[in-house]
Amino acid sequence: MTDRGSGVVRDCLNQSNTLAGLVTTNSTMYIDGPPTYDSAKGSLDYKVASTHFEADGKTVFKGSYELLMSSSVARCIYKFTSAPVNASVSVTSESGEPNVATTVVREKDNWLTLGAYNFTFSAPTVSVKLTQEKAQVVTPAKPAVKKITCVKGKVTKVVTTAKCPSGYKKKG
């Protein structure tokens, strides 16, 4: 993670004069504050940690993580337009292996909701990656230039207007 990435998140949070977001987790330990933006991966990363087993020592503890973020803050972080965004949530174990999780992603009423559920602990990283298709620039088609031939006596003119100049008659 880079300090520059953290600065991007902070700058966008500082632009918001309302609630920018909320993180919830059932993890017993986590990094305080907003997720860190990793500009190399294009992801918001949040570090969590807990024991591997529940209090009975047998049942595997299943984690949950939810991020509710203002769409405008998310768009600021990623420098996105107001066009729809796509998102993915992944959980990676401490050793870098993918950790199976159920994920939920949606955008509604200017809020982005992302969640990961049923992943296992010791110290996984939850990563949120947003993407947006680049807007396609549509170049308007040039109108077809229609030429007409106009005649006045023995003088012939080819023009690109809809009618002949004064005193000329359309040929043919």
Mean pLDDT score of the chain: 82
Global pTM exceeds 0.85: no
Rg (CA), the chain: 30
pLDDT of residue 142: 65
Q: Is the model's pLDDT at 118 over the cut of 50?
A: yes
pLDDT of residue 37: 81
pLDDT of residue 138: 56
Q: Is the model's pLDDT at 74 over the cut of 70?
A: yes
Segment of 40-49, 50-59, 70-79, 84-93 carrying the highest mean pLDDT: 50-59
Q: In terms of DSSP bridges, do strands 148-152 and 29-30 run parallel, antiparallel, or are they unpaired?
A: unpaired
Using DSSP's 3-state secondary structure scheme, residue 78 falls into: helix
Mean pLDDT value across residues 119-126: 85
Q: Is the model's pLDDT at 58 over the cut of 90?
A: yes
Using DSSP's 3-state secondary structure scheme, residue 73 falls into: helix
